[in-house]
Chain A
């Protein structure tokens, strides 16, 4: 008997999928609002993105092509095991190419290749509540969202400016969704925040331990919080990728040898590799530019 026959399609039972699907529909109708859902135990630890895995399992169909990235890379232990999990339980096609994927599950990054209509980006979220580190009580943060009372966050960011001369937050930089809900973009670098704004793809967020789902429909206004005299500034790198030469993209510092050698390379491994290899499936000669 094959694994596919042993498991439910995409692991979860139909009743659980329906419950998650209903939560997803509410999340899309109320952009940025955190919908509670009855998170299930998954055969992996919480730190491995069980919220994202449950959302992917509820969304995925037999015709989908799945890509899984962790910090931009397709080949980390976490990304590989989640990809294998869905290959085994759903029999879906998988890819490392952003443009070939219909569903992309991610931890901590948004691909550099612009997303398109029809694609779904699923984020693994550890802490969905942007106000949580300022206010531990759920009843209180619920009330603040209900009243659109986000003064605490503005005070926090302003204290940043007073102390550091600029807003020091570089990850999980809070955003306002369609002028209404304050949202945690998950621990993506603030470099990626502008990609969320008016993105043609549907963005879904799943927090397993915290049992919350939220969403950004395509073409939704997503604005990073800032102040008139201290406007939001995405991280800029003063160099290009040491491997592919790309500029204006997110770089990771990697150690290259035992002697402390370092270089900066694309965090998005698919983006970097596709720049270093000739276009796929191109007929010989057709894509060659005469020198």
Chain B
């Protein structure tokens, strides 16, 4: 593929990246809160402009990105991310700094991504999950960043995701941090979020 065929990235790389970073920072600081992220990007399908903006703001040649089965390594999306970030594509999700999931129903188990170590729990994967919908209903969470409790759920996700979220929290301070992205909004569930167990 020629460079001219790659879709353009941020129109203002400095200020767009800052704005997107602040949106992600705000999302991780307030788990479960759904916020609009206006990204002017037009990335190649099936990538949403929101998920694309997050990776363009955070990934670079110092990081690795794993693409899920919905995105092969020679896809337009792979070329787009390589061109705009310089990030190396990871062959396995198990060691990646970032993972981009576009088919969440079939995503690998959270426990199989990089979890960090007890001494360095930050050496873990940040997972960007493209979903069709998010809502402030369903699962209930409490913990840092949540004044009382917050309800949040997204779809589609693996059937056993509630159990996976509880297990992710149980591994704290090891674990993975999740950033959800619909076509227009983002929300996050950092590993610190505790899910209320219900039958």
Contacts and interface: CB of A to CB of B under 8 A. Distances in A.
Are these two chains actual partners, yes or no? yes
Interface of A: 8-9, 14-15, 17-19, 21-31, 33, 35-36, 58-62, 142-143, 145-147, 178, 180-181, 198, 200, 202, 216-221
B122 A26 contact: yes
Contact of A33 (B19, B24, B63, B173): B173
A144 B115 CA distance: 19
B13 A219 contact: no
B198 to A, nearest CB: 22
B18 A61 contact: yes
Contact of B118 (A8, A18, A146): A146
B119 interface: yes
B17 A18 contact: yes
Nearest to A217: B145
A136 B47 CA distance: 48
B10 to A, nearest CB: 11
Nearest to A201: B29
Given A15-B60, A61-B19, A143 B119 contact: yes
A22 B58 contact: yes
17 contacts: A14-B17, A18-B58, A23-B122, A25-B58, A29-B28, A30-B121, A33-B122, A33-B173, A36-B122, A59-B22, A142-B119, A146-B117, A217-B144, A218-B30, A219-B145, A220-B144, A221-B144
Q: Which residue among A18, A36, A58, A180 has the maximum number of chain B CB atoms within 10 Å of its CB? A: A18
Interface of B: 13-15, 17-19, 21-22, 24-25, 28-30, 57-60, 62-63, 97, 117-122, 124, 126, 143-147, 172-173, 177, 190-192
B121 A33 contact: yes
Q: Which residue among B58, B97, B146, B192 has the maximum number of chain A CB atoms within 10 Å of its CB? A: B192
A181 B143 CA distance: 14
Contacts of B145: 28, 217-220
Given A59-B22, A146-B119, 16 more contacts: A9-B15, A21-B25, A28-B145, A30-B190, A30-B192, A33-B121, A35-B122, A62-B15, A143-B119, A145-B119, A178-B192, A180-B173, A200-B147, A218-B30, A219-B144, A219-B146
A58 B126 CA distance: 19
Contacts of B19: 61
A216 B192 CA distance: 11
A202 B191 CA distance: 17
Nearest to A58: B21
A28 B60 contact: no
A18 B192 CA distance: 23
A281 B137 CA distance: 42
B176 to A, nearest CB: 9
B185 to A, nearest CB: 18
Q: Which residue among B17, B29, B60, B177 has the maximum number of chain A CB atoms within 10 Å of its CB? A: B29
A27 B60 CA distance: 19
A180 B25 contact: no
Nearest to B28: A28
Contact of B126 (A25, A146, A202, A218): A25
A30 B19 CA distance: 22
Nearest to B97: A22
B58 to A, nearest CB: 6
